[in-house]
Chain A
Amino acid sequence: MRWFWIDKFIEFESGKQARSIKNVSLSEEHLHDHFPGFPVMPCSLIMEGMAQTGGILLGESHKFKYLVFLAKVPKFKSHRPVRPGDQLIYTATLTDAREEGGMTSVVAHCGDELVAEAEIVFAHVTEEDAGIPKGVNQKNVVEVGLAGVLAESGINE
């Protein structure tokens, strides 16, 4: 499994706002355990999709100079269960970006309906602090995993 919880970006305004899509599918294996006979997308994964949208927005605002780590979720509210067949649209707004990290406010909609909202704080860390090998960073993820979809959507980085 690849840890991508967004399928593509549909809007990307550098340093301000990004919108992405996640199509929820019954082929996702975890949905059959969560819950048997009543598949619901786990809120933790909705949060992850929100964090990926907001984290890439923050990372790009510094030209991916920093490693962006999800540090804290001060607020998360779910308004209704998200089920297979739903298309989530995450809208992340960068509310603060500075040398040490940043903060985003993210909402998730299905159509016009608000299904979840969150505030997410990110910290900038070094590769050493993060304990990960050199060269693995968010830019790679964007280039390898998401650049294709960004290009496909006709959105320039």
Chain B
Amino acid sequence: MSLTKRTFAGLAAAAVMAFGMGQTATAGSHAFEPSKPIDFVIMAGKGGGADKMARLMQSIIEQEGLSSRPVVPTNKPGGSGAEALVHLNSATDPDHTIMVTLNSFFTTPLRQPGLGVDIMTFAPIGRMAEDTFLLWVHKDEGITSFDQFVEEAKSRGSGWVMGGTGKNSEDNIITDHLNATFGLDIKYIPYKGGGEVAKQLAGQQITSSVNNPSEALGFYESGDVIPLVAFTDERLALFPDVPTLKETGNDFSYFMQRAVVGAPGMSDEALGYYNNLFQQVFETDAWQEYRTKKALLGAKIEGDELRAYWETQRNRHEGILKASGAIN
């Protein structure tokens, strides 16, 4: 299969150049060049924010001919990212194994020390963005403000159902925060991915979600769901009329890291190659447009700066999980 992939990737690259529209790969100046297809692990299921983003990055790499070898995305959604983390941890060829991460990158190793995963050993390739969270409800609920939401959710008790993406996931953390801060008793139900959550809300199987904009946008544009509050520091350009939770007087914001990491044991040369590769992806028009359209925030960081960010995030999540009783 790799031969066919290579042939077609080569064919595509050749054709792109022939039409004079392609950009030749600029990675030639680096010592490391991939010698086989790159295993691109997605630590979430199909159709969610991480999946869409990973496949977009792969498409950009293919379209612009940035890599001489194809990047092959594989979904490993099992166990809130545990499956993916273990896969990277035991990768036989770390120089050709990379992964796009969510915040389960921080929480899952904390909750499951038995996995033997230390995230500080992963190679810091690049943080492509910080994704944002909003609170969504179906339009037929007739709720238009966050205050109304609190009132309604309070009166319905555990009849109010929040769909999310796994136990102790980002969505669960936000739900716990809402429950604890506003005295609510929202029931949390985990699904395979943000895409499925969006669908459950659109079909009114659940009463609310805390989807990323990229996941809820389709149903937002069709008018099925409405955002009530953003869990960001400032209002999002895409939703200028939606207040932040901070504006309501509650000092809480929460973001999702959208980063690419390399398997533990990746060589410095390979890390340099991928740093450069994803910097190029970041600079493309297609990526910048996606950032704007999907309300992504956060600067591009890599290397030690990214490791320092992981350290902060890990400590923050450790605090959150301890507070919710998920870990001791």
Partners in one complex: no
A residues near B (Cβ < 8 Å) are none
Question: Which chain B residues have a beta carbon within 8 Å of chain A's beta carbons?
Answer: none
